[in-house]
């Protein structure tokens, strides 16, 4: 979760594709492409079970996807680990 530096009340989720840990220029380029592709795919999705992506920003760590924040949101990989692959989503 992140807050905007000039406005205390706005909270967002941020996913950073760190390029510093990529060992080769090809791996860094691949992470940049992954971030852009994820943004492009999610940009048009409006679904109550998926956090809406708001922006793609360049940071010193790498590209960052900025999502709406929901205190009840759970990452899909965590949800699957907790509930298994067969569950009934509630939304």
Which pLDDT does position 43 carry in this prediction? 92
Pairwise CA distance, residues 52 & 58, whole Å: 19
On whether the CB atoms of residues 54 and 68 are closer than 8 A, the answer is: yes
Would residue 38 count as lying in a domain?
yes
Which pLDDT does position 5 carry in this prediction? 59
Q: Into how many domains does the chain fold?
A: 1
Flag residues of the chain having pLDDT under 50: none
Would residue 89 count as lying in a domain?
no
Would residue 90 count as lying in a domain?
no
- Evaluate if pTM is beyond 0.85: no
On whether the CB atoms of residues 65 and 56 are closer than 8 A, the answer is: yes
How is residue 80 annotated by DSSP?
A: H
Would residue 25 count as lying in a domain?
yes
Which pLDDT does position 51 carry in this prediction? 86
Which pLDDT does position 77 carry in this prediction? 79
User: For the domain that residue 49 is a member of, what is the CATH number?
Assistant: 3.30.200.20
Which pLDDT does position 56 carry in this prediction? 95
Which pLDDT does position 4 carry in this prediction? 52
């Amino acid at each position: 979760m992140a807050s905007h530096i000039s406005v205390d009340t706005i909270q967002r989720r941020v996913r950073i594709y760190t390029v510093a840990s990529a060992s080769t220029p090809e791996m860094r380029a691949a992470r940049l492409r992954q971030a852009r592709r994820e943004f492009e795919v999610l940009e048009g999705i409006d679904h109550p079970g998926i956090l809406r992506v708001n922006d793609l920003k360049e940071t010193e760590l790498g590209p960052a996807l900025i999502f709406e924040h929901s205190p009840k949101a759970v990452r899909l990989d965590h949800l699957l680990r907790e509930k298994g692959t067969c569950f009934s989503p509630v939304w």
